Structure 1
Amino acid sequence: MYPSTVLDVIPNYPFEPDESVANPIFRIQRDDCVATYKRSDFLIPHRKEYYFMALVKAGSSRHWIDTVPYTVRPGAFYFTIPHQVHLKEEVQPFTGISLGITEEFLALDESGALKKLPVIQNPDNGHELVLSDADLLFVEDLLEKMLAEYNTKNNWQNTMLLAYTKVLLIYLSRLYEQQFSLATPQPNRLLLKTYLSKIEEWYTRLHDVAAYAGMMNLSAGHLSELVKEQSGKPAIVHIHERLIVEAKRLLFHTDQSIKEIAFALGFEDASYFNRFFKRIALTTPAHYRSSIRKMYH
């Protein structure tokens, strides 16, 4: 068994509700000021326990999501999901509308459909959607309606906000499928979504397709065939890609030893982890850590 605390070395910030509204599971706010941060807030990697989204109207702050730097730009929509790593590098005056959405809020959708949307599952680890003029008008109008509802004390407020959120997330998911690689239309991607969800839950413990096939009451061969058909990738590749993403996050954002990272990701043998990482990433963990830090610091 690996030490579970190693993955927690990157702080996980909880959802902070707006005290003036007293909604413990959803937040939306207009941002129209210079954010004030302490020096200690910068260059500190962290995760958020909730889904964070923002429509940028003006601003050019520089941030990182995982190992990708980006400078925010007006007319774009930014989004992250709970396991991604955030880092502030430089903050400029920012104008826009931002949202915080908790798992509890999404659970109000009894059908479970919202949790399966691409912008929520984020299989490509994206963080930016480019908006056309028409997209910008639609999204901004919808967010304004959500703000108005949020700032009133009407009955069934969360029910109304959930309805607006459904429209927003469906619209953004269409854009996601247009702008990211897993957008290839498929007649039925439900099994793939289930498989990716299982990987997200168990990737630090289970590294073979057969284990996931057992959970889904399928043979390993049949699961592999269906996943390849729906995603274009072998089933094992999805497991390996998730492990590599998390390994890179920990190598870049923490000072944990390679052995500690290997154990945290479910590898009992650090040397095997080194060989695995080199085979997939085409470089050793140590070289990756030194080269990416040299490049960006």
Structure 2
Amino acid sequence: MPKKPKNIPIIAKSKDGEGIFISTMSVEDTDLFEDVKHSHRDDYHLFSLQLKGTTSLEIDFQKYTIESSSIFYINPNQVHRVVSFQNVSFSSLAITNASLSQENLKLLEEITPVKPLFLSAEKLSMVSEVVSLCLKFFERKDEKLYHSLLKDSCNVLVSLIASYYLEETHSADKLSRFETITKSFKTVLEHNFRTIKKPTAYAQLLTISTPYLNECIKNTTGYSVTHHIQQRIVLEAKRLLYHSGISVKEIAAELGYDDYPYFSRLFTKVAGISPLAFRKKNLE
């Protein structure tokens, strides 16, 4: 049985194109991409437009099948791997935080995580046209304003994709006060779950009272603020237990718990299984 890596592997893209890499390719055999067959994170945001064939992916313990005329987005925090390719043709954009506009970074925080999205013929045509333009700029490295042209065109593509995802949910101008606060809470939680554990602290960050925060979150999700905090912590713990070789005590410390027994009890309560049992059950 292969030994787990000490930490979750991270795949980095070349710095060519100022943290942007875009390509179109056809693949018949998953073996051409040995590195993506193993669980990993990326140091970039990945957008992939599937034009033909079938791709099977595993993202944070969920399995997805992506068919033609679909797009999917993977955030740098998500642990994922390609299970298989079946005669696929796709275009993909890898873009780092530094190359994304602040507006797009905020949009992506709001929609993460998402499922693969099927595109109508009209939307597929629109995305394909913008991808084609981005590819042309990516290849014209001798242009005087190469980086600006590439960066701006790729941000247009990201905005377009994000807009299609947002159409599947409420648009920002139609959100209720409760939904707006819930969105803000989830964004703040994503940035702070390792260091902030108490609902009161999140309420302070959002400049509202703790009871009102709980009311908003429970109204829109059906669960308490504490539930969401614990679920996010346990998701990260599961990622590290499954995909890395670091000890449970090290995982507890990385997630902000000096009291290892307390962390173990919390994990067991939320996951219904102890950390060690979860790791043993999921050994590959």
Q: Could you say which residue in structure 1 is the equivalent of 2:94?
A: 100
Instruction: Report the CA distance shift for 1:260/1:190 in structure 2 as closer, same or farther (over 3 A).
Output: same
Matched-pair contact (CA < 8 Å) for 1:35–1:94: no
* Equivalent residues in 2 for 1:1-297, closer than 5 Å: 9-17=7-15, 22-33=16-27, 41=35, 43-106=37-100, 108=101, 112-117=102-107, 119-123=108-112, 125-152=113-140, 153=143, 155=145, 156-157=148-149, 158-175=151-168, 177=169, 186-188=175-177, 189-293=179-283, 297=284
Aligned residues: 272
* TM-score under structure 1 length normalisation: 0.77
Residue 149 (structure 1) shift: 4.0
Question: Which ranges of structure 1 fall in alignment gaps of 5 or more residues?
Answer: 1-6
> Per the alignment, do residues 14 and 133 of structure 1 end up closer, same or farther by CA in structure 2, a change over 3 Å counting?
same
SS in 2 for 1:45: coil
C-alpha displacement of 1:253: 1.2
Residue type of the alignment partner of 1:159? D
Q: Distance in 1 between matches of 2:156 and 2:56?
A: 33
* Pair 120,173 (structure 1): closer, same or farther in 2 beyond 3 Å: farther
User: Matched residues in 1 for 2:64 and 2:44: separation?
Assistant: 21
CA contact (8 A) 1:54 1:77 kept: yes
Q: Give per-residue Cα distances to partners, 1:142-189, cap 9 Å, x unaligned.
A: 3233333444437441334433432232123324x38xxxx9x63244
TM-score (normalizing by structure 2): 0.80
Instruction: Structure 2: give runs of 5+ residues left out of the alignment.
Output: none
1:257 is aligned with what amino acid? S
Query: How big is the alpha-carbon RMSD for the aligned residues of Structure 1 and Structure 2?
Result: 3.1
Contact 1:262/1:268 (CA < 8 Å) preserved in 2?
A: yes
Give CA deviations for 1:206-244 in whole Å, capped at 9, x if unaligned: 211112222333332233233334544322222112112
Q: In structure 2, do the counterparts of structure 1 residues 232 and 116 end up closer, same or farther at CA, with 3 Å as the change threshold? A: farther
- Give the percent of matched residue pairs that are identical in Structure 1 and Structure 2: 25
